[in-house]
Structure 1
Amino acid sequence: MDLNRVKQILSSSAEIDVVYNGASVWIDHLSEDERTATVHLRGPLEERTTVEISELQEKI
């Protein structure tokens, strides 16, 4: 995924499906300088991890 799309998703009020390593995730924070995003799995677990934005995919 590219930087501009991550920004659009973060600012959107719509629920947009994003996938990381085959799992649906929420994007919590974007670090533009490092080109990384903090994400957590959808569901009861709130464990957060930092990933490269290039590894995120929008589920269409």
Structure 2
Amino acid sequence: MNANRVKQILSSPADVEVKYNGVSVWIDKLNEDGTTATVHLRGPLEERTIVNISELQEE
């Protein structure tokens, strides 16, 4: 995934499914470096992780 698509997903009212290592995640924000994003797992756990946006996959 690229930075422009991450921005589109963040601004979209639609529920866009994104996966990281095969696990469904929410994107919280695109980080200032433009190559990483803060994400958290869908569900009750809200632990946030910084991941490289190239590893995110839109379903």
The equivalent residue for 1:38 is: 38
Runs of 4+ off more than 4 Å: none
The equivalent residue for 1:21 is: 21
* Offset at residue 31 of structure 1 (A): 1.3
TM-score if structure 2 supplies the norm length?
A: 0.95
- Is there any run of 5+ residues in structure 2 with no aligned partner, and where? none
The equivalent residue for 2:3 is: 3
TM-score if structure 1 supplies the norm length?
A: 0.93
Q: Percent identity?
A: 75
Coordinate RMSD, CA, aligned: 0.9
Residue 10 of structure 2 aligns to a residue in which SS?
Answer: helix
